[in-house]
Chain A
Amino acid sequence: MELIMSILAGVLFTAGVYNLLQKQMLRIIIGTALISHGAHLFILTMGELKTGAPPILDYDIEHYADPLPQALILTSIVISFGVTSLLLVLAYRASKENGTDNMEKLRGNEND
């Protein structure tokens, strides 16, 4: 199963990076969101996907799923949520302010 998950993560990265290389700001944000999904899946796969109980202690259970990647992903989800929402508002403001959401047009002034 890890192989399939690795490939899925790869597909998410591919789609994310392709979106990242676009001109439109929205597509770039979609790209970053996809990449963070891919990264979370990647971390989860790096632990073990073997079936074990959820890491909530119980006296009868021997095998648990790996709790550490889960903690890391949880932190990461929250941070990427914060970053994505900031990016969104930033994109909104930037396109309002500049009248365009085309990254190719949003270049620095040569004389700055």
Chain B
Amino acid sequence: MLFAVFLPVLLAIFIPFFSKWKEKIHTGYFVLLAPLAVFIYFVPHVGNDFSPVSQSYNWIPSLNIGLDFYLDGLSLLFVLLISGIGTLVTFYSIFYLHKSERLDQFYVYLLLFMTAMFGVVLSDNVFVLYSFWELTSISSFLLIGYWNYREGSRYGALKSMLITVFGGLSMLGGFILLSIITETTSIQAMMEQADVILSSEYFGLILALVLLGAFTKSAQFPFHIWLPDAMEAPTPVSAYLHSATMVKAGIFLVARFTPIFSGSDWFFVFVSGIGILTLVWGSYMAVRQTDLKGILAFSTISQLGMIMSMLGFGTSVAIFAAVFHILNHATFKGSLFMIAGIVDHETGTRDIRRLGGLATLMPISATLAFFGTFSMAGVPLPFLNGFYSKEMFFDASLEIHESSIAFANVLAQAIPYLAVFGSIFTFVYSMYLVFGTFMGEKKLDQLKMKPHEAPIGMLVSPIILVLGVVIIGIFPNLVNSTFLAHTAEAIYGQPMKAKHVEFWHGWITPLYMSLIVVGVGAVLAFTRKSWNSIYSFFPGKLSFNKVYDFLVDQSEKASAKITNLYMTGSLRLYMALILVAILVCSFGVLWITDGFAFDTTGLAEITVHEILIALTMAVAAICTIFTRNKIAAILILGVVGYGLALLFVVYRAPDLALTQLVVETITVALFLLCFYHLPNLRERTEKASQKLINIVISVAFGTLMTVVAISAHSTKLFDKISDYFLETSYKLGGGDNVVNVILVDMRGIDTLFEIVVLGIAAFAIYGLIKLRNKKEAE
């Protein structure tokens, strides 16, 4: 399985070599090999006696993360869908994309996506699953933005990226919690500990985080907004990613975790509630669209909502219906997207208002579209698979178990009505889509080119998919016992008999519901123009796109505002902020740890001459603030320096006193030299409030240092090391002057780099003085 998962990416490495010959042979033919090989590899697993297969490969054993693959019924369904439709889409893209496009990039992205999807559905390790999950987001981003010179493509790509990565990250949070609680990273092992997870205090959070990931990926309300904008991608991509595979990753995730979560009532409330809401909203909004792919995008949203709500119901009928519909939806929606692409390709527009009457010009496409849309609408005909799933959906919506949460019970009562409502609109947009495009009057003058039937190669893939629709429609039990029963079993968590699907059930409630849908839907579909204005009242101007745009816009503006607030370019302000931060942190720590100590034992004697020196220094230091004469300022600074030198003398530090005297003298000389060229000190012109802030900050900082000095002096935790220096200075260093021995012998490296600092300063000063700009040179 490892090889199967990574085969597409391995092939992607050779794409640049293949595309060298793209003038002779379309790169797509090479790419075709990957999904086809994977499909052929996995097909033999289909059968009555299927049992799960698991394989492990080492990746990061220390973190308990391995490339663990697990093939059960659920993964098998998805892996076959991905590779099967992947083959068809690649074949379709060979005829859809002209050789002048950047084919190598397109196919590299597509192969990357295939690997990511195989990884998502086959992974047993939550973190590996997450890695592949994000890879699907990234490759989808690249594919949506494929025509990156278009504004719309870039907008759509960014939007889908932001929303799906937001969900992906929250899902990672859920996975981390899960792996901490269960102490394992394997999904199968987590299932065995379902009761541990359900009784955990973090269960609510886990459920919310994981479902957020699934809902954003599968375009559930209100995160559905990225999907219509993702239609900027080339049509093969829309058909593959945004109808059949990637958007079902969220469905897959919910299905995969159903055995763990289904014990919770909140799972029912969230998954069916959001699912049914998405179904209703998506189908309602689809009727409003004028772009073929826009209709299909909202249709995808609504169908995903339907599958999601069935997973939420959690009964065996519902789960079987969900699985059945995953397969059915992939067949008809894939074909419809391809036909939308053909129409776009052959007429130059996807705007349904400019299309019409194409049935006689494009008979094959029209026939395929009729099959696809009627199946999507759930028209009760014995050769359409969509009808069976719709009827099972109605059946499931009627059989929801009683729940202990009051809200869940209300929801359960409302679901059949909502289901019928959503299905009516599904019927309406399906009819609108197919009749609007292929029937009615011809509007050839509004088209860029004269429409004609697509080349046969382009039609092969939709024909195969529609054959799938019809075959499943006529022999629904063909796939059930061999294939779908295993899938449903994997989700349901218990052995399950294959449901026998028949066209005719007798006069039962679901059938009446279907007939209502067809009846009301037909009436609404043909009177669509007269009630279409309802959309200007509801939702009117309300739109989640606006919310998204507002959020993105505001987050940019707000962060710019915050940055501009403190990044003013004023060094004074930065200094003040730094000092305030130091003050807050230091006083905070002193306060919290009760760090202030005051201990008067062992202090040195107070003598008068020291106090005099200290007073002089303090007065001089404060005077520097008030002086306006630069020479005076330098001399006053000199007083502080020489005062310090005197203190060094008092405190028995002859070397220090010497150095300080010399350095102070040179500094004063330097200052005098330099200041001669500098403008005189001006009177300080800051405002009174500014002055007050400066005073507060500086006094607080001085107080902090005093407090720290006193506290540090009052708490002596260890003996000092200096005795060692004093003892060994002569023995080891061969010198009597301990300070000098420390400087050149015991801590010689300090001195070396201090010399380096002086040297660098000297060079820098030399450079600065020698540096002349043009004006001065002239």
Contact = CB atoms under 8 A, between A and B. Distances in A.
B697 interface: yes
Given A11-B621, A52-B652, 17 more contacts: A9-B709, A11-B617, A22-B684, A26-B630, A26-B675, A44-B653, A46-B709, A54-B654, A73-B653, A74-B655, A74-B739, A77-B663, A79-B754, A79-B757, A82-B757, A86-B765, A95-B678
Interface in B638-694: 640-641, 644, 647-648, 651-656, 659-660, 663, 666-667, 670-671, 674-675, 677-679, 681-682, 684-686, 694
Given A13-B705, A14-B698, A20 B575 contact: yes
A103 B573 CA distance: 11
B625 A18 contact: yes
B55 to A, nearest CB: 56
B548 interface: no
A15 B610 CA distance: 20
Interface string A64-96: 111110110111011101111110111111011
Contact of B604 (A46, A48, A56): A48
A108 B729 CA distance: 53
A11 B698 CA distance: 9
A107 B765 contact: no
Interface in A31-52: 33-34, 37-38, 40-42, 44-52
A46 B359 CA distance: 95
A69 to B, nearest CB: 8
Interface in B687-730: 694-695, 697-699, 701-703, 705-706, 709-710, 712-713, 720-722, 725-726, 729-730
Interface of B: 569-572, 575-576, 579, 600, 602-607, 610-611, 614, 617-618, 621-622, 624-625, 630, 633, 637, 640-641, 644, 647-648, 651-656, 659-660, 663, 666-667, 670-671, 674-675, 677-679, 681-682, 684-686, 694-695, 697-699, 701-703, 705-706, 709-710, 712-713, 720-722, 725-726, 729-730, 736-739, 742-743, 747, 750-751, 754, 757-758, 760-762, 764-765, 768-769, 771, 773, 776
Contact of A108 (B569, B624, B648): B569
Contact of A75 (B684, B738, B754): B754
A101 B682 CA distance: 10
B730 A57 contact: yes
B656 A77 contact: yes
A60 interface: no
Contact of B681 (A24, A71, A86, A108): A24
A2 B603 contact: yes
8 contacts: A6-B706, A17-B579, A51-B604, A54-B653, A56-B737, A66-B720, A93-B768, A103-B571
B678 A101 contact: yes
A71 B725 CA distance: 11
Mostly helix, strand, loop or mixed at chain B's interface? helix
A57 B701 contact: no
A16 B760 CA distance: 25
Contacts, number: 270
Nearest to B747: A71
Contact of A104 (B572, B625, B722, B725): B572
Contacts of A47: 720, 722
Contacts of A40: 644, 660
A30 B624 contact: yes
Contact of A1 (B606, B712, B776): B606
B659 A74 contact: yes
Nearest to B727: A57
Contacts of A19: 624-625
B54 to A, nearest CB: 58
A33 B637 contact: yes
Contacts of B702: 10-15, 17
A84 to B, nearest CB: 6
Given A17-B701, A81-B667, A67 B722 contact: yes
A10 B604 contact: no
B677 A86 contact: no
B8 to A, nearest CB: 46
Contact of B659 (A42, A44, A77, A86): A77
A18 B648 contact: no
